[in-house]
């Protein structure tokens, strides 16, 4: 198939959705598909390039979140859609809504992905747990974008259930974003600067909702606090705040951006992985961590899908509670033999999230969308009327 990805920002390593899009494009090409991207950037053999949309006074915060909004150029959009056999959208913003109109006008099948939780937006304004604000954004996303599609990809069953209960009418496909096969069991000796220290890592953008602050505060309550060295992999708007908070620890946290190989090297030296986020649609970084042989300790937040990865209560802590997180950290550090056993169990459990499985299910969704489009086109001249079960969560029995 000729598959067009429509995504505002593609060539970045500081945005989880963009990284997933890159990996999906790479894997689909390996299977013989042609994949091109409509995105901000320079035009190339695989890119239909668009300019960035400028927002006075807000560009700094937008860029700190690792994001850019695309400026909609109708000629480029039309050229990209004319090339494609099917179009897949990643974000519910201006580029998607404008391109979808061209897709429907030209009679092309299309699908969409739901990666942006409303809480990711409201948390920037300290309103991440304000129900009316989040529900309002869910409604806007639903009415302006997602209910115009027959098939929507979500990265977890948790997100699928959230959409179904809020009246999203598309067929919802719960497909993990998947991890690459080189994230596998690996243990290496600690670098000289880390000898004698307990390394605990957390990966993710430095933002309010990710709650890196909970982990920093937990170290103060841990009996191993003087030996713990935190490593935060990520960048974001709360960088300075977290640096200030971390200065109170005997071993101030290490912050940095790491490429894939550097990240794997750091994970291989760590003793535990913590995921403290209040809001998460999946958290591939957590899967990558326990795939390499790290026992995770995960927030039990009801707004996060990540807790699904915990194999028992020992790997869950009460959301927002640094003292409970410290207790769980201390349990695993107190019980080194059990931790070693569970490291292998967690690494084995990660195999079900191999990206190869995800791509197979993603291909299946695209083909189903194409077939539904053909049926609708035969029975009805309006190509956006799909004969699929609406508001249903599709769970793949082969997953």
Task: Report CA torsion sign: 307, 312, 314, 318.
Answer: positive
When computed from its CA atoms, the radius of gyration of the chain, rounded to whole angstroms, is 22
* 159 within 8 A of 139, measured Cβ to Cβ: no
- Choose among 329, 327, 344: nearest CA to 199: 329
Domain 2-178+355-394 and domain 192-351 have a common topology: yes
Q: What is the DSSP string of 108-176?
A: --EEEE----HHHHHGGGT-TT-HHHHHHHHHHHHHHTGGG-SEEEESSHHHHHHHHHTT--SEEEE--
pLDDT of amino acid 399: 39
Q: What is the DSSP string of 205-224?
A: --SGGG-HHHHHHHHHHSTT
pLDDT of amino acid 344: 96
pTM reported for the whole predicted model: 0.88
**Which residues does residue 111 pair with via DSSP β-bridges, in sequence order?**
88
Distances (CA, A) of 295 to 149, 214, 229, 299: 39, 18, 16, 14
* 178 within 8 A of 359, measured Cβ to Cβ: yes
Distances (CA, A) of 81 to 5, 24, 217: 10, 19, 50
Distance linking the first and last C-alpha atoms of the chain: 23
- What gap in Å lies between CA 267 and CA 270, rounded to an integer? 5
pLDDT of amino acid 158: 94
- What gap in Å lies between CA 338 and CA 120, rounded to an integer? 36
User: How many residues are recorded in the chain?
Assistant: 399
Residues of the chain with pLDDT under 70: 379-392, 394-399
* 192-351: CATH, from 3.40.50.2000, 3.40.50.300, 3.30.230.10, 3.40.50.150: 3.40.50.2000
Domain boundaries along the sequence of the chain: 2-178+355-394, 192-351
pLDDT of amino acid 67: 86
- What gap in Å lies between CA 299 and CA 275, rounded to an integer? 6
Q: What is the DSSP string of 281-334?
A: S--HHHHHHHHTT--EEEE--TTBSGGGG-SSGGGEE-TT-HHHHHHHHHHHHH
User: By three-state DSSP, how is residue 226 classified?
Assistant: coil
- Tens of pLDDT, residue by residue over 23-34, are 999 999 999 999
Within 10 angstroms of residue 326's Cβ, the number of other Cβ atoms is 24
- What gap in Å lies between CA 212 and CA 204, rounded to an integer? 9
User: By three-state DSSP, how is residue 33 classified?
Assistant: coil
- Tens of pLDDT, residue by residue over 81-97, are 999 999 999 999 999 99
- What gap in Å lies between CA 329 and CA 282, rounded to an integer? 22
Task: Report CA torsion sign: 176, 180, 182, 186.
Answer: negative
Identify the CATH number of the domain defined by range 2-178+355-394.
3.40.50.2000
- What gap in Å lies between CA 307 and CA 210, rounded to an integer? 14
């Amino acid at each position: 198939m000729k598959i067009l990805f429509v995504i505002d920002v593609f060539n970045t390593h500081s945005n989880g959705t963009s990284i997933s899009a890159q990996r999906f494009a790479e894997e689909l090409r390996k299977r013989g598909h042609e994949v091109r991207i409509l995105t901000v950037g320079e035009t190339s053999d695989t890119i239909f390039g668009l300019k960035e949309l400028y927002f006075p006074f807000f560009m700094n915060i937008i860029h700190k979140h690792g994001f850019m909004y695309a400026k909609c150029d109708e000629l480029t959009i039309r050229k990209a859609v004319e090339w494609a056999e099917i179009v897949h959208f990643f974000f519910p913003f201006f580029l998607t809504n404008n391109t979808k109109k061209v897709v429907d006008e030209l009679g092309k099948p299309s699908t969409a992905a739901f990666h942006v939780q409303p809480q990711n937006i409201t948390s920037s304004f300290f309103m991440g747990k304000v129900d009316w604000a989040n529900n309002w954004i869910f409604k806007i996303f639903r009415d302006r974008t997602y209910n115009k599609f027959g098939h929507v990809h979500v990265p977890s069953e948790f997100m699928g259930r959230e959409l179904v209960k809020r009246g999203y009418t598309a067929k919802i496909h719960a497909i993990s974003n998947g991890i690459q096969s080189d994230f596998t069991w690996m243990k290496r000796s600690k670098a000289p600067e880390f000898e004698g220290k307990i390394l605990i890592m957390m990966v993710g953008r430095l933002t309010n909702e990710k709650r890196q602050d909970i982990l920093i505060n937990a170290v103060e309550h841990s009996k191993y606090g003087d030996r713990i060295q935190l490593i935060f992999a990520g960048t974001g708007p709360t960088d300075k705040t977290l640096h200030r908070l971390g200065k109170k620890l005997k071993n101030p946290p290490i912050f940095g951006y790491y490429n894939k190989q550097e990240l794997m090297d750091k994970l291989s030296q760590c003793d535990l992985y913590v995921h403290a986020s209040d809001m998460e649609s999946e958290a591939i970084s957590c899967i990558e961590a326990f795939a390499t042989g790290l026992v995770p300790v995960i927030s039990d937040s009801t707004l996060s899908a990540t807790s699904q990865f915990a194999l028992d209560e020992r790997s869950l802590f009460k959301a927002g509670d640094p003292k409970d997180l410290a207790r769980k950290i201390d349990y695993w550090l107190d019980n080194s033999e059990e931790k070693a056993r569970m490291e292998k169990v967690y690494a084995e459990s990660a195999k079900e999230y191999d990206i190869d499985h995800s791509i197979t299910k993603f291909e299946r969704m695209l083909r189903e969308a194409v077939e539904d489009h053909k049926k609708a086109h035969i029975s009805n001249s309006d190509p956006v009327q799909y004969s699929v079960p609406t508001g249903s969560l599709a769970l793949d029995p082969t997953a």
